[in-house]
Amino acid sequence: MSRSFVHLTRRGLIQAGSAFAGATLAARSGLAQTGNGATGGTAEAGEITRHGLSAFGDLLYPADFKHFSYVNPEAPKGGTLSLQLKQSIGNQAFDTFNTLNVYVLKGDGAAGVPETFDTLMATSQDEPDALYGLLAHSVHVSADKRTYSFLLRREARFHDGSPVTAHDVAFSMAVLKDKGHPTFRALLTELEEVRADGDYTAVVRLSPRHNRDLHLMIATLPVFSKAYWDKRDFEAATLEAPLGSGPYRVGRFEQGRFIELQRVADYWGRDLPVNVGHNNFDRIRYDYYRDREVAFEGFKAGTYNFNEEYTARIWATGYDFPAFRQGRVKREKLESGAAIPTQGWHFNLRREMFADPRIREAIGLAFDFEWTNANIMFSSYKRLTSYFQNSDNTAQGLPSPEELALLEPFRDKLPADVFGEPFTPPVSDGSGSDRNLLRRADQLLREAGCKREGAILRLPNGKPFEIEFLDSTPVLQPHTQPFQANLKRLGINARSRIIDAAQYQRRTNDFDFDIVSSALGGSLTPGDSLRVIYGSEAARTPGSRNFSGIENPAIDHLIDVIGNARSRDDLKVACRALDRVLRAGRYWVPMWYRSERWLAYWDVFSRPGTMPKHSTGAPDTWWYDEEKAKRIGAKG
């Protein structure tokens, strides 16, 4: 039910896990000292060599593992997976596209492009933050944890047959830091140097101020061809497919309507442990629709064959069509151990009218979640209250002594309720217009200096209080309109503006809005990527995901602590402290969540018997089943 879901991993198509894998490296006995036997650089004194990385040194899979436990290593290749873009990175838009360069600010990026690029390492869906070798078979780590030498596989190739070298890695990280989308530029701030030590050792040097995550973030970024981009403008929008090295290449596409990816038959890395059982479809096709209702009609007609549903009404009432009744379309809920996205209406604090937290709280009191859930969403959701919902990182009760130690230096700059019970939106009476909550909202508005003149509420500066909810789709209107009706009861002229996707992208990039809805991907091991969403620098960077414009030194400090936590216990303490500060700031009106994924699909797929621990594996580990397709008369 979100307008924007930001997801930053290479497997953003299908993996519902961390925004970026977390990252600090600790020595662990029993880990092999080499990769898969491929040759590479020589470790220097004090260095350790790893076949995988994780936030706190724990790895589930040994150096000689053959494949992840949740895949079918014998999965057949073939058929078509067709779907819609539901998670995004960089400049990707959900409703249209006009560029195949998704890693810069300019343009609306096309779906699927990240699958055409390989990364140094790949994620495990069985672990909260572990990476294993892809382009790199192993990595030397210096004693001071500032230098990471990635040893590349000599067999790695771009799609034109040219080798992937350390020079390409160095170019890729440098160009993303200098010219990439603001998200990537922000994450790479403390990348001090990246260079090639010969053709097959990429040396990454981090600044003394680097956070725990940075080397893992780097390991999951795309590697571009230096030779290809030397002749082109990296920041330009383009409909020429950039040269990649991944399991898919761009096939047919029609701007703004569909794009297809073709599996690379001679893909160099198809037999690597991290790839076995993945990349099973010959073709992946993304179809674009401006309207969710029209999109669902396309699914019912078989235009696309896999649908993750976010609309409770459609889930509850829409699956009564012939193909479903005949069993040709299946529907199920799958529990996922993935992190919960933070979904809500975000205030733009760059607007003077939202400067006072009492005003923001008052607006939040006008949203009746209980009525909305019962009357619009078929009681399918729970209220989102925390920025780390359903995890050990959620703040509860009074701050612990360890949390207080982090918060006390900022006591005079923080709201008093940071030091009490964490702020939780009140439960309404479910009437849709709870008089007690609206009375409390009116009181807060008056305390903030607003004045009522008849049916009009005036801000402290005397201007009428008017709010525009900006969106590029009407899908949230049934939820927003009752919210706006309650705001009008308070004297606030609240209205929606629905604009086209390209204009929406431009306006959100420029922070030209009052309120927008967004779902920002969560993480099981939060790290420095929080800076992109809540950091002060991001608030001043056009195109960042800090929609609210949060600028708070306490939050910046806590993100630093989180990014440098050396144990899961330390991480938990810092996250809980941050959760308290964010919740006390009333920066958003939290929406709703569910822990399971709602999946519907035409019965042409099969899947492994085991699901990963932190994802459903759908459709990443699934494959096209020719026999099932024949039974229902589907064409691959």
The model's pLDDT over 109-132, given as tens digits with 9 standing for 90+, comes to 999 999 999 999 999 999 999 999
Residue 619, preceding peptide bond in cis (omega within 30° of 0): yes
- Across 265-341, the runs of DSSP E, i.e. the strands, are 283-287, 306-308, 329-335
Q: Give the per-residue pLDDT at 210.
A: 86
Candidates 289, 287, 288, 283; CA nearest to 251 is 283
Pairing verdict, β 382-383 and 451-453: unpaired
Q: Give the per-residue pLDDT at 522.
A: 81
Sign of CA dihedral 486, 488, 491, 493: positive
Token representation of residue 79: 């058929």
Contact assessment for residue 291 and residue 298, using Cβ atoms and an 8 Å cutoff = no
Packing angle between helix 357-365 and helix 435-447, nearest 10 degrees? Answer: 160
Sheet holding 258-263, edge to edge: 80-83, 283-287, 258-263, 248-254
Burial 48-65 (b: 16+ CB within 10 A, else e): bbbbbbbbbeebebebeb
Which class for 508: exposed (0-12), middle (13-18), buried (19 or more C-beta within 10 A)?
buried
Q: Give the per-residue pLDDT at 131.
A: 97
Which class for 402: exposed (0-12), middle (13-18), buried (19 or more C-beta within 10 A)?
middle
Q: Give the per-residue pLDDT at 283.
A: 98
Q: Which residues contact 536 (CB under 8 A, 6 or more apart)?
A: 550, 551, 552, 553, 555, 556
pLDDT digits (tens, 9 = 90+) for 440-482: 999 999 999 999 999 999 999 999 999 999 999 898 999 999 9
Q: Bridge-partner residues for 606, per DSSP?
A: 623
Q: Give the per-residue pLDDT at 6.
A: 33
Q: Give the per-residue pLDDT at 43.
A: 54
Task: Evaluate if residue 572 carries a pLDDT over 50.
Answer: yes
What type of residue is 491? Answer: G
Q: Give the per-residue pLDDT at 29.
A: 24
Token representation of residue 322: 């012939």
Token representation of residue 229: 């981009």
26: number of Cβ within 10 Å: 13
More confident residue, 342 or 30: 342
The rounded distance, in Å, linking the Cα atoms of 471 and 326 is: 37
pLDDT band at residue 15 under the 50/70/90 scheme:
very low
- pTM of the entire structure? 0.82
3-state helix, strand, coil in the chain (%, to 5): 25, 20, 55
pLDDT digits (tens, 9 = 90+) for 352-369: 999 999 999 999 999 999
pLDDT digits (tens, 9 = 90+) for 481-526: 999 999 999 999 999 999 998 899 899 999 999 999 998 878 889 9
Burial 203-241 (b: 16+ CB within 10 A, else e): bbebeeebbbbbbbbbbbbbbbbbebbeeeebbebbeeb
Does residue 449 come out as left (phi exceeding 0), alpha (psi in the -120 to 50 range) or beta? left
Least confident of 21-25, 432-436, 498-502: 21-25
Q: What is the set of domains in the chain, with CATH numbers?
A: 342-593 (3.10.105.10)
Task: Evaluate if residue 18 carries a pLDDT over 70.
Answer: no
Average pLDDT over residues 560-565: 93
Percent of the chain exceeding pLDDT 90 equals 81
The rounded distance, in Å, linking the Cα atoms of 445 and 103 is: 42
Contact assessment for residue 188 and residue 206, using Cβ atoms and an 8 Å cutoff = no
Q: Where are the alpha helices (DSSP H) in 161-275?
A: 166-179, 182-187, 214-219, 226-229
Q: Give the per-residue pLDDT at 44.
A: 64
Computed over every residue of the chain, the mean pLDDT equals 91
Q: Give the per-residue pLDDT at 42.
A: 55
pLDDT band at residue 26 under the 50/70/90 scheme:
very low
The rounded distance, in Å, linking the Cα atoms of 194 and 55 is: 21
Q: Where are the alpha helices (DSSP H) in 376-523?
A: 401-407, 435-447, 477-489, 501-509
pLDDT digits (tens, 9 = 90+) for 410-420: 999 999 999 99
What type of residue is 442? Answer: D
pLDDT digits (tens, 9 = 90+) for 292-313: 889 999 999 999 999 999 889 9
Percent of the chain exceeding pLDDT 70 equals 93
Phi then psi for residue 470, to 5 deg, are -95, 135
Q: Give the per-residue pLDDT at 45.
A: 61
pLDDT band at residue 41 under the 50/70/90 scheme:
low
The rounded distance, in Å, linking the Cα atoms of 494 and 490 is: 10
pLDDT digits (tens, 9 = 90+) for 92-102: 988 899 999 99
CA of residue 242 relative to chain centroid, distance: 23
Average pLDDT over residues 257-285: 98
Q: Give the per-residue pLDDT at 9.
A: 34
Candidates 26, 81, 126, 237; CA nearest to 606 is 81
Task: Evaluate if residue 21 carries a pLDDT over 50.
Answer: no
Phi then psi for residue 134, to 5 deg, are -120, -90
Phi then psi for residue 288, to 5 deg, are -110, 135
Contact assessment for residue 465 and residue 453, using Cβ atoms and an 8 Å cutoff = no
